[in-house]
Structure 1
């Protein structure tokens, strides 16, 4: 193993240890702590948590399936701020480089070509004593572009909504046949 691989393995192990001590920690804060991208943190937790890497090219299919999951809480952040919005996906259209989501509750203009990786993540919430379920979208540099969490009746998300989340993740999985 070369020095770079060993260093990556050490960071991965450190990230895993960090979350074993407190599973409610935020991946965004872990990325800052370890000096890696947030995608690297999620990658490190694959196999430790129920995380599914989605296959390439499923962006539109996934977004168009989200209305069936009901109300979602969407997080969009930069290095300086985070915005959280609760609503339902729908009203899809394309305009130039943008894939648009326009409903009464969400208005997003997504540069979808900038989305490089998508994960379905089941994680203990940082401010709750229950699991959260989200689709997390990362750009080419490994930064979180946005995250969409199941939010219907949160924290008591209906069992059938969680099952639909798992079914969708499995269907779009990079490991799907």
Structure 2
């Protein structure tokens, strides 16, 4: 075990020497390792291994005060500042629902946790069985550092030298040929939807990937858009002050921002929202498809913008601000009509 950790550490140290500006997630991919394995080499230096009592720990994050929650995938980084409150768990599913921090947690994916000190920037970082980051929590200027140290001490793992064995990432689900899908039944079920949350079970029932479902949607329910249209939608949202919802997910967490977006900045391939309490970094060259999707509910139509990579993975989704029992805002529909000329 020691030689393995030392071997990984030697490669990681050499890589950092040669590539000081490359972020750890990108470094892990280039080295053919996982981010969690690289972090694990910092034990006894700037990293502390946490035990796996993750739900209990998350229920105490509110003691830190205002923090920055970060959830990302390969092509979208979602950063939201606020106070964790009302964390609750039902089996493997957790919820944090406040106007600022809004999370859906899938704890069966959470395998490893670390407390990390990067030049006095303190964070709690969580990873799945393959060593991919599922969620991170960073202290900011307003956070309570003493509460952080107390929390880390309480949830420190007994064995700091425990072997970290990252499993291979799950292979993508193979898509069934279209002719094996009962398309008519699927389309009628889509038309009969009463809640947007029923869409995922509908896909599972018919063994459809999400992008395949959009291709096979009932006529008038899904429209593929140009990439430039996505920029137009976000620019119009910023210009109008329309409150939107931005969903970004990792294997173990979906993080949601609800509110306006204001400051938009393009930097190289990244399209960014840079607001005081919400940042989004969207890598445009990772986007393969953008769809406008319509779903019926008991509250009326709900329209979303859904963004996918080349493997059909969801990168980010955009909705108008809404809650169950409240119809979708006319402002969001007007924005989409002005931006796409479709609805």
Range class of TM-score, shorter chain? 0.7 to 0.9
Please point out which of 31, 36, 41 is paired with 2:38.
41
State how far apart, in whole Å, the 2-side matches of 1:95 and 1:171 are. 23
Q: Which residue of 1 aligns with 2:128?
A: 139
Q: For 1:175, what is the secondary structure of its paired residue?
A: coil
Q: For 1:141, what is the secondary structure of its paired residue?
A: coil
Structure 1 unpaired stretches of 5+: 125-130
Mark the CA change 1:61 to 1:23 in structure 2 (over 3 Å): closer, same or farther. Answer: farther
State how far apart, in whole Å, the 2-side matches of 1:65 and 1:93 are. 11
1:95 Cα offset (Å): 4.7
Structure 2 unpaired stretches of 5+: 160-343
Deviations along 1:39-94, one digit per CA (max 9) or x if unpaired, are 011012223x32110112x1112111110101111111112221111111012223
Q: Which residue of 2 aligns with 1:111?
A: 106
State how far apart, in whole Å, the 2-side matches of 1:8 and 1:52 are. 15
Moved more, 76-85 or 167-176: 167-176
- Conserved 8 A contact 1:16-1:45: no
**2:78 is equivalent to residue 83 of structure 1:** yes
State how far apart, in whole Å, the 1-side matches of 2:48 and 2:4 are. 25
State how far apart, in whole Å, the 1-side matches of 2:25 and 2:83 are. 24
State how far apart, in whole Å, the 2-side matches of 1:92 and 1:138 are. 19
Residue correspondences, number: 159
- Conserved 8 A contact 1:11-1:34: no
Q: Which residue of 1 aligns with 2:158?
A: 175
Alignment of 1:1-177 (within 5 A): 9-19=6-16, 26-47=23-44, 49-56=45-52, 58-95=53-90, 97-124=92-119, 131-153=120-142, 161-175=144-158
- Conserved 8 A contact 2:55-2:89: no
State how far apart, in whole Å, the 2-side matches of 1:69 and 1:46 are. 23
1:25 Cα offset (Å): 5.4
State how far apart, in whole Å, the 2-side matches of 1:111 and 1:31 are. 24
Moved more, 70-79 or 15-24: 15-24
CA RMSD of aligned residues (A): 2.6
